[in-house]
């Protein structure tokens, strides 16, 4: 976890692979986000042990995107109710 040129390097482990993430977000943010992805991949692998790493990654991305979209819709609905 080093800073270089204003960028923060964070080493994470997702699906038994190690990645170095470089960005502006603090390391704790990157670790939390990568932990969610890793948890989703593990969940999917437990349910579908025959899936390839690529299939697991795509399904994890789709599941997380679905959760994000649902949350955004809920926030929009709450804002409409406040108005």
**All residues at 6 or more sequence positions from 63 whose CB lies less than 8 Å from its CB, including other chains:** 40, 44
Instruction: List the domain boundaries for the chain.
Output: 2-82
Position 50 scores a pLDDT of 97
Its pTM stands at 0.83
* Separation of alpha carbons 6 and 46, rounded Å: 39
Instruction: Give the angle subtended at the CA of 5 by the CAs of 3 and 9, to the nearest 5°.
Output: 35
Q: What is the per-residue pLDDT across 27-59, written as a single tens digit (0 to 9) for each?
A: 999 999 999 999 999 999 999 999 999 999 999
């Amino acid at each position: 976890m080093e800073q270089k040129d204003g960028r923060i390097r964070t080493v994470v482990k997702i699906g038994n692979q190690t990645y170095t993430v470089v960005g502006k977000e603090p390391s704790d943010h990157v670790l939390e986000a990568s932990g969610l992805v890793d948890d989703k991949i593990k969940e999917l692998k437990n349910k579908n042990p025959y899936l390839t790493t690529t299939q697991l990654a795509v399904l994890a991305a789709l599941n997380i995107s679905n959760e994000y979209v649902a949350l955004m819709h809920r926030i929009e609905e709450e804002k409409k109710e406040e108005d």
